[in-house]
Amino acid sequence: MLAYLVFFACVVLILGVLALGLNLQWGFTGLFNAGVVGFYAIGAYTHAILTAAPQPQYVGNFGLPWLVGVLAAMAATALASWLIGLVTIRLRGDYLAIATFGVAVSIQLVALNWEPLTGGAQGLTRIGKPLAPLFETPFAFNLWFLGLMIALMATIYWALDRVLLSPWGRVLKAIREDETAAVALGKSARRFRLEAFVLGSTLMGLAGALYVSFIGFVSPFDFLPIVTFQVWAMLIVGGSGNNRGALLGALVVWAIWAGSGVAVSKLVPPSHAAQGAAIQVILIGLLLVLVLLFRPRGLIGEAAVVSRHVND
Amino acid sequence: MIQALADGILTGAIIALGAIGVTFTLEIMRFANFAHSELLTWGAYIALVIVTFAGPGTPTGPLSFGWQLLAAALIAAVLTGLAAWAVDTLVFRRLRRRGALPLTMVFAAFGAALVMRHLIVLVFGHESRYYTRELQIAVELLPGVRVLPDQIFILGLALAAMIALHAFLAWSRTGIAMRAMAESPALAQVCGIEVDAVVRLTWIISGALAAFAGVFTGLTPQLHPEIGFNLLLSLFAAAILGGTGSLAGAVTGGFLVGLAENLSLLVISPGYKGAMPFLLLLAILILRPQGLFGARS
Measured between CB atoms, which of B102, B114, B121 is closest to A229?
B114
Q: What is the pLDDT of residue A273?
A: 82
Q: Which helix (H) or strand (E) holds A235?
A: helix A226-238
Between the alpha carbon of residue B145 and those of residues A302, B3, B139, B158, the distances in Å are: 60, 5, 8, 21
Are the C-beta atoms of residues B107 and A281 closer than 8 Å to each other?
no
Are the C-beta atoms of residues B84 and B204 closer than 8 Å to each other?
yes
Are the C-beta atoms of residues B276 and B237 closer than 8 Å to each other?
no
pLDDT in tens, B242-278: 876 678 888 888 999 999 888 888 888 877 877 888 8
Cβ of residue A269 closer than 8 Å to a chain B Cβ: no
Q: What is the pLDDT of residue A156?
A: 94
Find the residue in B nearest to A31 (Cα): B103
When pLDDT is averaged across residues B14-39 and rounded to a whole number, the result is 89
Measured between CB atoms, which of B91, B108, B274 is closest to A109?
B274
Q: What is the pLDDT of residue B297?
A: 45
B interface mutation test: which of A31, A89, A98 has the most B CBs within 10 A? A98
Q: What is the pLDDT of residue A53?
A: 76
User: How many CB contacts within 8 angstroms connect chain A with chain B?
Assistant: 129
Tens digits of pLDDT across chain A (312 residues): 888 889 899 999 999 999 999 999 998 888 899 999 999 999 999 999 888 877 777 777 777 788 888 999 999 999 999 998 988 888 877 888 888 998 998 999 888 888 888 878 888 877 777 877 787 888 888 888 899 999 999 999 999 989 988 999 888 888 888 888 888 888 888 888 999 999 999 999 999 999 999 988 888 898 988 899 999 999 999 988 888 999 999 999 999 999 998 898 888 888 888 888 899 999 999 999 999 888 888 888 777 777 677 776
What is the distance of C-alpha A208 from the center of its chain?
7
Chain B residues near residue A34 by CB distance under 8 angstroms? 110
Q: Is A131 helix (H, G, I), strand (E, B) or coil?
A: coil
Topology of domain B2-287 in CATH is: ABC transporter involved in vitamin B12 uptake, BtuC (1.10.3470)
pLDDT in tens, B196-213: 888 899 899 999 999 999
**Nearest-angstrom CA–CA distance, A94 and B165:** 27
Measure A303 CA to nearest chain B CA, in Å. Answer: 19
Q: Which residues pair with B142 in a beta bridge?
A: B145
**Nearest-angstrom CA–CA distance, B260 and B241:** 12
Chain B residues near residue A32 by CB distance under 8 angstroms? 103, 106
Are the C-beta atoms of residues B109 and B88 closer than 8 Å to each other?
no
Q: Which of A49, A172, A26 is nearest to A100 (CA)?
A: A26
pLDDT in tens, B97-151: 888 888 888 889 999 999 999 999 999 888 888 887 776 777 777 777 777 777 8
Do B240 and A99 make contact, defined as CB atoms within 8 angstroms?
no
**Nearest-angstrom CA–CA distance, A118 and A113:** 8
Average pLDDT over all residues of chain B: 85
Do B91 and A289 make contact, defined as CB atoms within 8 angstroms?
yes
- Which sequence spans correspond to the domains of chain A? 2-224
Are the C-beta atoms of residues B68 and B56 closer than 8 Å to each other?
yes
Q: B186 or B48: which carries more pLDDT confidence?
A: B48
